[in-house]
Amino acid sequence: MNNADSLVLEYLVSRAGFAGHQIEHLRRWWQATAAEETLLGFLQRQGLLSSPSMQIFQQIAGGHLTRGMGFTLLDPHEFLQIRRRLPEVTAASEMDPKATMTLFGSDETAPEMPRLPVSPEPPRIGGFLGKYLLTEWLGKGANGNVFRALHPTLHIPVAIKVLNAGTGHDDHQRLERLKIEARLLARLNHPNIVRVYDFEDHPQYPFLVLEHVNGPSLAELIEQCGRIQPDRVIRLAKQLAEGLAAAHRLGVVHRDIKPANVLLTRTGEVKLADLGLAIMRRIPGSFGGTASGESVSRGGTALYIAPELVTSASPPDERSDMYSLGATLFHALTGRPPFEGSDPWQVIENAVKQAPPCPRRFVPDLPPDLAELVTRMLAKDPLCRPYSFVNLLLEPVFSGTLPPARPIGSGLWTKLMQRWWRRQRRLQSV
């Protein structure tokens, strides 16, 4: 550990109010994800420390700035973000802050930090869930949190989807939904659908072990770029249609296709995630559902849900997924969803009452055949949409020879993620 790393720890304890448990979890997080990397470099790679703050710590370590002067130049919001990414533990600590500083050192006399129990404490970064070491929080959904974790034997990253603890009948329903998702994903062995590795019925926190996709979601890419180039959207749509065609062949209706559930690898591949709302059709009693889908909630996201699912008792089917994919492609091509509103109900009302806009209204230079296809996918009448995803793949838009996808290089990837983190910090500081 170098002088700059020692200064980071000193600041976290003395100025930012970090407790001993939080420092310990930061250490375990660091060690689990960065073999030879400095703490300062690790925090920047995670998007938690800006380049100016790194330079300030290095200036202090080099003797060019006094500690008091340097610490006053640091942005406190950055360290608030670090704390939010760490486990939620008590802010106060009875430990001596000076003793806490030896956690990263070789001092054999340093007091051993107490390890928090895995259960019934909530899953936390640096802790274990089952046999998996949680290394990073990736996001939160309606039913729980998603973590990046390390497989203890294979030493490969995996995604852990954890069902939050709850009580009553709703908790039982959410557990059954997670089991349904595990079974559906186990049957869907397709390169454009996130694979499932395992399901563990943990006593407090049941979880699903999924393939980890080393790239952003389409929602994050849209947030960074505003809109996506048509050739990349065509390639993305083709892969999604192939994955959905495989799902529908098994009778699986996704019901929640949206940019946040479309994951992109650095090599340009597309994977559809989150089948937590998916149902089986045509197979009575499958996985606790019915052929008509009457026993499950209608689900979906307001910006992308098909209007017939809101205005009638029509069960979700392939054409309702077709609408959601069309709304997702519209958002990618134009940088905005097809219908907007002040709240979800206003969005749904606009989607039901207004005609679907043509993407060329917002981006005039779009290829006409692509804009026409997306508009048909958004048709109010399900019968006016492409009949199936197999038929969708036969559209002229997908029949041409596409150039190979340009991988998201490390330089572009770093810029996109840094821009995303800066925007998140600005939003939290307002």
CATH number, domain with residue 140: 3.30.200.20
> 361 lies in a domain?
yes
Rounded Cα distance between 321 and 254, Å, is 7
> 123 lies in a domain?
no
Rounded Cα distance between 378 and 324, Å, is 8
Statement to judge: residues 230 and 337 lie in one domain = yes
Strand partners, 209: 160, 198
Which one, of 277, 272, 333, 339, lies nearest residue 302 by Cα?
339
Statement to judge: residues 241 and 314 lie in one domain = yes
- Tell me the DSSP string of 107-159: -TTSPPPPPPPSSSSPP-TTSEETTEEEEEEEEE-SSEEEEEEE-TTT--EEE
Residues 6 or more apart whose Cβ sits within 8 Å of residue 89: 19, 21, 22, 25, 116
Catalytic residue of the set 256, 274, 317, 321: 256
- Cβ–Cβ under 8 Å, residues 248 and 322: no
The pLDDT tens digits of the residues spanning 249-269 come to 888 888 889 999 999 988 878
Statement to judge: residues 252 and 323 lie in one domain = yes
pLDDT at 110: 31
Statement to judge: residues 205 and 237 lie in one domain = no
Rounded Cα distance between 419 and 398, Å, is 33
The pLDDT tens digits of the residues spanning 120-164 come to 456 778 788 888 888 888 877 656 788 889 887 888 889 998 876
Statement to judge: residues 103 and 78 lie in one domain = yes
> 351 lies in a domain?
yes
The number of distinct structural domains making up the chain is 3
Rounded Cα distance between 244 and 240, Å, is 6
Statement to judge: residues 369 and 350 lie in one domain = yes
CATH number, domain with residue 291: 1.10.510.10
> 334 lies in a domain?
yes
- Cβ–Cβ under 8 Å, residues 214 and 274: no
pLDDT, averaged across the chain: 75
Strand partners, 196: 210
Statement to judge: residues 231 and 207 lie in one domain = no
Statement to judge: residues 389 and 253 lie in one domain = yes
Rounded Cα distance between 144 and 42, Å, is 26
Please state whether 130 falls in left (phi above 0), alpha (psi between -120 and 50) or beta: left
Statement to judge: residues 278 and 397 lie in one domain = yes
Active site residue 256: yes
Rounded Cα distance between 61 and 3, Å, is 6
Return the amino acid letter for 400.
G
The domain containing residue 140 runs over which residues?
128-211
Which of 57, 85, 116 delimits the end of a domain?
Answer: 116
Statement to judge: residues 31 and 51 lie in one domain = yes
Statement to judge: residues 233 and 327 lie in one domain = yes
> 404 lies in a domain?
yes
Strand partners, 149: 134, 158
Statement to judge: residues 198 and 316 lie in one domain = no
Which of 184, 211, 238 delimits the end of a domain?
Answer: 211
Answer yes or no: is pLDDT of 196 > 70.
yes
Which of 180, 211, 242 delimits the end of a domain?
Answer: 211
The pLDDT tens digits of the residues spanning 207-254 come to 888 888 888 899 989 988 888 999 999 999 999 999 999 888 888 888
Angle (CA) 418-419-424 rounded to 5° is 95
